[in-house]
Amino acid sequence: MVALKVEIQEGCPNVEVLIQCPEITEDIRRLEALVLSGSPKLLCAKDQKQQLVDRRDVLYIESVDKRCFVYVADDVFETDLKLYELEELLDPAGFFRSAKSQIINIAKIKSLCPDFGGRIEVEMETGEKVIISRQYAKGFKERIGLR
């Protein structure tokens, strides 16, 4: 059972969330990530250590075997959030669902080139290439004002 308690303290400079639990479970980790979703940083993990990754540094996020990986210029982190949660969270911040298992940061796109079959090839600022699949290409064009 989860109890939620909100305390209003006048003059408090920051919003503070305290999670009290008997042990760290996957649900707790996801709760942590969701709590931090209001901040401009994403709670990620690498080598069993938690780290905050600035959303602006993220190139793209990929889901592989039900695990979500956050790609930045020279590193990869894992997050406990699901891809659909990340999509909801990051969509207003200039991210776009580019494939069934991928979200890209539009601000980090260097160039675009359409491909056969309605796909769009995307070159990120790092030179890495990803594909916007046919199902999502139309939405992407509408998003950036191509149609």
Terminal CA-to-CA distance of the chain, rounded, Å?
49
Out of 19, 109, 134, 135, the residue judged to bind another protein by CB under 8 A: 109
Per the rule left: phi > 0, alpha: psi between -120 and 50, beta: everything else, 117 is left
Q: Among residues 37 and 98, whose Cβ is nearest to another protein?
A: 98
Out of 78, 88, 121, 142, the residue judged to bind another protein by CB under 8 A: 121
Q: Do residues 44 and 58 make contact, with C-beta atoms less than 8 angstroms apart?
A: no
> In angstroms, what is the minimal distance from the CB of 102 to another protein?
10
Out of 1, 13, 16, 116, the residue judged to bind another protein by CB under 8 A: 116
Binding mask 81-100 for another protein (x = CB under 8 A): -------------x------
CA angle 126, 131, 132 (to 5 degrees): 120
Q: Among residues 77 and 96, whose Cβ is nearest to another protein?
A: 96
Interface segment toward another protein; rule CB under 8 A; list 1-9, 47-55, 68-76, 123-131? 123-131
The CA distance from 108 to 59, in Å, is 6
Number of residues that bind another protein (CB under 8 A): 21
> Using the 8-state DSSP alphabet, how is residue 138 labeled?
H
Give bridge partners of residue 100 from the DSSP assignment. none
Q: Among residues 33 and 130, whose Cβ is nearest to another protein?
A: 130
CA proximity to 93, closest of 103, 101, 102, 105: 105
Residues that bind another protein (CB under 8 A): 94, 106-107, 109, 111-117, 119-121, 129-131, 143-146
